C-alpha cells in the first residue's frame, strides 16, 4: 500500500559532506528518501544524525559549509518548493512567550488580535496542548515543552517532516500518540525522516533504516520487511543498545 505512494524520490544526497568549522561532521553521505516513506536514522551520540537533518532542512548557518549534492525534488502536485517542518533536538528561548504565542508565531507582520485562540494548530489538541495554551514556556515541564514543539512542527501539514529525536521526554502514552500522528501524516502523503535512539516502538511504520557512524552512512536498508538487526547491533554494540 505504502510502496505505491513512495514511487519517486523526494530527497537525494550524493557524496554530501559537511564542514563544521573545525572538523568534518558528515562525510560522503549518499541517500535517497522516497516520497511518502518513513525513514529512521540511527547512530550513537555524535554520529551526525542531527547534522544530517539540519542539512536536509536547509538551516545551516555559519560556520557550517556543505559540499556535494543535496536536492529536494518537488513534483507537479506540490508548490514550487516542498514545504518542510524541522523539529530540532533541543530549542532554547529567552523571550517569555506563552504557548499560544509560540504556536501563533509567524515570520510576518503580526496583526493586533482580539480573538485569543487564532492560529492554534489542530495538532495542539492532538498533543494535549490546549490546557497549556496560556502558560509561559518557561513554566512547562520537559515533556510538555516537547509536546508543544511537536504540535507546532506537525501542525502545518508539511510535505517533509524532519524530526530529531521527537520522542525525547515523552512518556509511553504520548509516544504512542506521536507514532499514531506520524502514521496519520504519512497516510496524507507526508514523508518522514526521523533520528531516533529508541527503535522498539516504530518498527511497523519504518520503510527505510539508515545507520550512521562518525559522520558516515554505514548502511541504508530500504525494505521494511528486513529489519537490519545485525547492522543495528553492530552500530550500538559498544553501548549495548539494540532492538
Partner 1 sequence: MRAVLFLSLLLTSLCALSLLSGPATPWSDVAQVLMGSVAAEDFWVQNAAVFELRLVHVLLAVAVGFALASGGRAMQLYLQNPLADPHVTGLSAGSTSAVLVSFLFFPEFANSYLFDVVPSVWIPAFLGAVLSLVVLQFLYRTTLRRWGVASLALVGLLVNAVCAAALMVIFARLSPAALSQVQAWTLGAIQGHSLTATALLVPLMVGAGVQLIRLDASLKLLSFGAEFASAERVDVVRVRRILLLSLMFLSASTVCAAGSVGFVGLLVPHFTRRFFGADALAGARPWLNAIAGAVLVVVADFASRTLTSPLELPVGVYTALLASPFLLLVMVRSGVAK
Q: Which is nearer to partner 1, 8 or 134 (CB)?
A: 134
Q: Does 110 bind partner 1 (CB under 8 A)?
A: yes
Grid cell listed for 117 = 485562540
Please report, as residue ranges, which positions from 31 to 50 form the binding site for partner 1 (by CB under 8 A): none
Please select the residue that binds partner 1; options are 27, 66, 136, 224, rule is CB under 8 A: 136
- CA 87 to CA 53: how far, in whole Å? 9
Helix (H) or strand (E) holding 49: helix 49-57
Q: Does 218 bind partner 1 (CB under 8 A)?
A: no
Smallest CA-to-CA distance from 124 within 112, 114, 134 is with 134
Smallest CA-to-CA distance from 96 within 37, 63, 138 is with 138
Q: Does 66 bind partner 1 (CB under 8 A)?
A: no
- CA 193 to CA 40: how far, in whole Å? 6
Give the interface segment with partner 1, choosing from 90-98, 181-189, 204-212, 226-234 (CB under 8 A): 90-98
Q: Which is nearer to partner 1, 125 or 134 (CB)?
A: 134
Minimal distance in Å, beta carbon 173 to partner 1? 27
Q: Which is nearer to partner 1, 41 or 53 (CB)?
A: 53
Residue 47, sorted as left (phi over 0), alpha (psi -120 to 50) or beta, turns out to be alpha
Please select the residue that binds partner 1; options are 8, 96, 229, 233, rule is CB under 8 A: 96
Please select the residue that binds partner 1; options are 5, 82, 97, 177, rule is CB under 8 A: 97
Q: Does 101 bind partner 1 (CB under 8 A)?
A: yes
Residues 6+ apart with CB under 8 A from 141: 169
Angle at 60 between CA 59 and CA 61, to 5 degrees: 115
Q: Does 57 bind partner 1 (CB under 8 A)?
A: yes
Q: Does 94 bind partner 1 (CB under 8 A)?
A: yes
Amino acid at each position: 500500500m505504502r510502496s505505491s505512494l513512495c514511487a519517486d524520490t523526494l530527497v537525494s544526497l550524493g557524496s554530501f559532506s559537511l564542514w563544521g568549522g573545525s572538523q568534518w561532521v558528515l562525510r560522503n553521505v549518499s541517500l535517497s528518501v522516497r516520497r511518502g516513506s518513513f525513514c529512521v536514522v540511527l547512530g550513537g551520540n555524535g554520529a551526525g544524525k542531527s547534522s544530517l537533518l539540519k542539512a536536509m532542512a536547509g538551516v545551516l548557518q555559519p560556520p557550517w559549509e556543505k559540499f556535494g549534492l543535496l536536492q529536494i525534488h518537488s513534483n507537479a502536485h506540490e508548490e514550487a518548493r516542498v514545504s518542510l517542518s524541522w523539529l530540532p533536538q533541543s530549542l532554547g528561548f529567552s523571550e517569555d512567550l506563552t504557548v499560544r504565542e509560540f504556536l501563533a508565531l509567524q515570520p510576518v507582520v503580526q496583526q493586533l488580535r482580539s480573538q485569543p485562540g487564532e492560529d492554534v494548530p489542530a495538532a495542539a489538541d492532538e498533543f494535549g496542548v490546549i490546557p497549556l495554551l496560556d502558560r509561559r514556556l518557561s513554566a512547562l515541564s520537559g515533556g510538555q515543552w516537547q509536546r508543544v514543539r511537536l504540535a507546532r512542527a506537525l501542525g502545518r501539514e508539511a510535505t517533509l517532516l524532519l524530526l530529531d529525536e521527537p520522542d525525547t521526554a515523552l512518556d509511553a502514552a504520548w509516544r504512542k500518540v506521536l507514532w499514531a500522528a506520524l502514521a496519520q501524516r504519512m497516510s496524507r502523503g507526508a514523508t518522514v525522516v526521523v533520528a531516533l535512539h529508541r527503535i522498539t516502538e516504530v518498527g511497523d511504520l519504518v520503510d527505510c533504516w539508515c545507520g550512521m557512524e562518525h559522520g558516515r552512512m554505514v548502511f541504508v536498508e530500504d525494505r521494511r520487511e528486513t529489519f537490519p538487526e545485525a547492522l543495528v547491533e553492530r552500530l550500538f554494540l559498544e553501548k549495548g543498545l539494540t532492538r
